[in-house]
Amino acid sequence: MVKKKRPDEEGAGENKRIEASDYKENNDPQDDSGMFEYENDPTEDENMNPEDSSSAEPATPDKVVTRERELEEKLAEMQDRYIRLSAEFDNYRKRTLREKIELSKYASEDVLIKLLPVMDDFERAVNNMELSTDCTALKNGIDLIYVKFNDFLKQNGLKEIDSLNCPFNVDLHDAVAKIPVEEEEKKGKIIDVIQKGYYLQDKIIRHAKVVIGE
């Protein structure tokens, strides 16, 4: 028994065949305008300039070894320079310390060398005192030695502090006693010097010990 198709089924089959043929005609793979069109031309990647890629060349093992060797040589050179500089500084420090010790030990050498002639004069005066009977000659010799010694002190920056008949100054004088005086102008002034005071250049190295009138 043959089953007959309904009219609507026959129409539906024909429509399906037409749609399939239309799809085949409109989507021919050989048609450039079809759905298989490439968005990007694959040949563009082949024609790209090689220089547009990363310009950094890959590091080869030989280059890495060479670079490491250069760094090691530079480090060794810097270490050697540091050791030499440290040794030079240590020698400089020791030499400076030694010179400082010698300077403090022999600082008075020049002064004493200049003082030796005065010492020679004193020795000659002492020797003549035992043999000479001329007191006037001995006195003149002692006076000459005193003047010579005083000049030596002045040449080395030593200067006496003025004290006698001067107003008392606590920055320059040390009062050891006070004596009543009749003269009004001597009150508050120094009437006697027990021990002289001295400047060394502009510095007071010894205060004068004085007696003040009141």
Q: What does 175-197 look like in DSSP terms, one character per residue?
A: EEEEE--S-GGGTTBEEEEEE--
d(CA 163, CA 76): 72
d(CA 107, CA 109): 6
Higher-confidence residue of 184 and 34: namely: 184
pLDDT in tens, 20-61: 444 444 444 444 444 444 444 444 444 445 444 445 555 577
Query: Is-contact 172 182, C-beta < 8 A?
Result: no
Least confident piece of the model among 90-94, 135-139, 167-171, 188-192: 135-139
199 phi, psi to nearest 5 deg: -95, 150
pLDDT in tens, 53-112: 445 555 577 777 788 888 888 898 899 889 999 999 999 999 999 888 888 887 778 888
DSSP state of 167: B
**Phi/psi-derived region of residue 28, left when phi > 0, alpha when psi is between -120 and 50, beta in every other case:** beta
Q: Check residue 4 and give its pLDDT.
A: 47
Would you tell me which CATH number, out of the four given (3.40.50.150, 3.50.50.60, 3.10.20.30, 2.30.22.10), belongs to the domain 160-214?
A: 2.30.22.10
CA-based end-to-end distance of the chain: 171
Across 145-181, b (16+ Cβ under 10 Å) vs e yields beeebeeebeeeeeeebebeeeebeeebbeeeeeeee
Which tokens hold the place of 158? Answer: 């030593």
Q: Check residue 58 and give its pLDDT.
A: 58
Q: Check residue 53 and give its pLDDT.
A: 46
Higher-confidence residue of 171 and 131: namely: 171
